Amino acid sequence: MSLARFLQVSDLHLGRPFAWLPQARREDRRRDQQRALEMAVSHAVEHGAHAILVPGDLFDSTAVDAGLLTFAIRVFEVSGCPPVFIAPGNHDPVSDANAAFHPRLLRARGMRWPEHVHVFDTPEWTAVPVAKLPGVRVWGRCSTSSVESTDRPLAPEALAAVTATDPRGFEIALFHGSREGQCPPGQESTAPFSDAEVAASPFVYHAVGHYHAMSRIEQPLAEGVKSAGARLAYAGSAISLDHTETGTHGALEVRIEYGHRLPFVEVEPIELDRRHVYPLDVDVTGAASADHVDRRVLKALEVAGAGEMDFAAVRLTGRLGPGVRWSGAGTELRDRVFHVRTDARAVRPDHDLAAYRTSGGRTTEERFAIELLTQLDAETDPGRCAVIERALHYGLDAFRLREVSPASDEVSA
């Protein structure tokens, strides 16, 4: 039996603006990205990986400045770095405008990728053998545009070129695509494929990029299958790219046993992001002041174990007493973690809506509340619901507090 080791890292998105972070934090996060890639290469060297697989979105856009490109080239030039296979994704597609991958433009900039780095620069599948693994080939394809692509990379007609498997080794697929039915909200679908196509493809393993959360398709041992174990895996983004990307982020160590029996693939996550995103729901009902709200959040951070390196995505819920205004995190809270983002849209003024419902509607105030509650109950459009709900609270604030302030928003600190 032979063992092939690969390190799969994708969706680095080097050069990401991180506009959602305060200016002072953006550079730190960009360095986190670079550090993650360095760690990935270092891990591959130390653990004797036979190749590094980068299934797309190494860069965040085609406008890659010289510093970033130099870094990416240098990071793969370290001593002992195994062969690197890059399949550009929808964020850094291969095109005449992409001076990071286009060989002629690279030369024009006075740069070039090291010899052991191979960039798949066609949308068709092409194969490159892995130097130290006889019979093992990495097949790759690239995205050629940043717009949504409906090309199905694992469709039988697209795989017509994948032939002549060497009995000594196996074939690996490297591409950027969307697993159908699993696309996270807000993310574009590109190069879609289905689980059935994955099962039917001639590849032993599919290293895929695009989705920023780690996921995989397991293939149980059965007759007629090409491999067992992990059949496809997303390594996810190497680091959290925004406050919605919770959980562990990093790379995958892919180990494939092959030889006299069916290849068996197992993947192991390698954590590269030293910061974590902590999603927290904090009930602020009864808080008597903005400081009290902050203290509730601090308490929740304490309980969750968030450290000063981490992100906190705090969703405030509950009801704030009359006159209590909270417009954002205070200094202590801001200093508690690397970055805190609070969403106070779910916080409601402390009006007893249930009492209004049962009041009988004798006064204008009660009838106003009943009228809007009725509309709210009948409305299905979430946007319209939000408007009605706000109108209800504004009206009641006008009656009760004689003061109306805009509802709270998402606040980044």
Partner 1 sequence: MKLIRLRVSGFGPLRGEWSFAPDKVNVVVDDNERGKSTVLSAIAAALYGLEDDRRSHRVLTPLERWRPWTGGGFGVELELRSGGRTLSIARDFERGTVTVFDDQGREVTGEFVDGKDVPVGQRLLGVDAAEFEKCALVRQGDLDAVVPGDERARRASTLRARLENAADTHIGDTNASEALRVLDESLRRYEAHELEFTGTVENAIERLEAKASLIESAIHEIDHNVVRSQEPLDAMAALAEEEQAIREALRLLDEEKLASHAAAVRRQLEEDEANRAELARLEAEARELDPLAHVPQNAEAELRDAISRHEEGQLNLETLESRRHDEIGRERALVEQGLKSLEAFEGYTDEDANACVAVAADLRRLALEDATHRRQVFDLRDQLASQGYEPERIQFLTARFSGLPDDQQRILRQQTDVNLAFQTEVARLEQERTLASETLRTLDASLNGRRMPGWFALAIAGGAAIGGVVGLAMHGRPLLWGGLFGAGVVVAGVGMALLSIGSRAQAVEREAALRRLSEAQKRLNQLRTQRVENELGLADLARLMGYRDAVDLMRHWNEYARMIEDSGPLLRAQDLLAATEAQKRQVLDRARPLLRALADAPPTPEALERIAHDSRRAALARTRLEQLDRSDESVDRQRQLLESATAGLRERAIRILQGAGLSYDPERTWPEMVAELAARMTLRARRTVVVDELIPYAKQRLLPEAEIEERRKQLAILLHGREDMPEPRPPVEIDLEVQQARANLDGVQRRRGDLRVEFEEVLRAHAQQRPELEAQLDRFRRATARARAFKQAAELARTTIQGVAVDTHRRWADFLNTRVGELLRLFGTQVEQLRFGEDLDFSVQMDGGPQVSRGKAHLLLSAGARDQLYLAVRLAVSEYLSRGGEPLPLLFDDVFATSDDRRLESGMRTLIDGFAAGHQLIVMTCHRGRHHDLMRVDPELYRNRVHWLEVGAPAEART
Token reading at 200: 């039917």
Distance (Å, whole) CA 191 – CA 62:
19
Q: How far is the CB of 108 from partner 1 (least distance, A)?
A: 3
Of 306 and 324, which CB lies nearer to partner 1 in the complex structure?
324
Q: How far is the CB of 349 from partner 1 (least distance, A)?
A: 13
Of 176 and 393, which CB lies nearer to partner 1 in the complex structure?
393
Distance (Å, whole) CA 359 – CA 366:
7
Of 95 and 149, which CB lies nearer to partner 1 in the complex structure?
95
Of 88 and 250, which CB lies nearer to partner 1 in the complex structure?
88
Q: What is the DSSP string of 59-113?
A: BSSS---HHHHHHHHHHTTSTT---EEE---SSS--STT-TTT-HHHHHHTT---
Distance (Å, whole) CA 312 – CA 202:
43
Of 66 and 161, which CB lies nearer to partner 1 in the complex structure?
66
Q: How far is the CB of 65 from partner 1 (least distance, A)?
A: 4
Token reading at 330: 């205070």
Q: How far is the CB of 107 from partner 1 (least distance, A)?
A: 5
- DSSP-derived 3-state class of residue 307: coil
Q: What amino acid is encoded at 30 in this protein?
A: R
Q: How far is the CB of 18 from partner 1 (least distance, A)?
A: 6
Residues paired with residue 175 on neighbouring β-strands, in sequence order: 208
Distance (Å, whole) CA 82 – CA 131:
9
Of 43 and 102, which CB lies nearer to partner 1 in the complex structure?
102
Q: Is 275 exposed, middle or buried (0-12, 13-18, 19+ CB in 10 A)?
A: buried
Token reading at 72: 């990416």
Q: How far is the CB of 243 from partner 1 (least distance, A)?
A: 13
Q: Residues 6 or more apart from 56 whose CB is under 8 A from it?
A: 10, 11, 87, 88, 89, 90, 91, 92, 142, 143, 175, 176, 209, 210
Q: How far is the CB of 104 from partner 1 (least distance, A)?
A: 5
Distance (Å, whole) CA 382 – CA 367:
23
Nearest to 7, CA basis, from 256, 296, 247: 256
Q: How far is the CB of 131 from partner 1 (least distance, A)?
A: 28
Q: How far is the CB of 166 from partner 1 (least distance, A)?
A: 37
Of 51 and 99, which CB lies nearer to partner 1 in the complex structure?
99
Of 96 and 302, which CB lies nearer to partner 1 in the complex structure?
96
Phi, psi of 5, rounded to the nearest 5 degrees: -120, 135
Distance (Å, whole) CA 248 – CA 265:
21
- DSSP-derived 3-state class of residue 280: strand
Of 182 and 363, which CB lies nearer to partner 1 in the complex structure?
363
Token reading at 410: 């998402």
Distance (Å, whole) CA 18 – CA 95:
25
Q: How far is the CB of 19 from partner 1 (least distance, A)?
A: 4
Of 182 and 405, which CB lies nearer to partner 1 in the complex structure?
405
Q: How far is the CB of 394 from partner 1 (least distance, A)?
A: 5
Of 42 and 61, which CB lies nearer to partner 1 in the complex structure?
61
Distance (Å, whole) CA 249 – CA 236:
7
Sheet of strand 311-320, all strands in order from the earlier edge strand to the far edge: 277-283, 311-320, 339-349, 410-412
Where do contacts with partner 1 occur on this chain (CB under 8 A)? 15, 17-20, 23, 26, 63-68, 96-97, 99, 104-105, 107-110, 288, 321-323, 355, 359-360, 362-368, 371-372, 386-388, 390-392, 394-395, 397-400, 402-407, 409-410
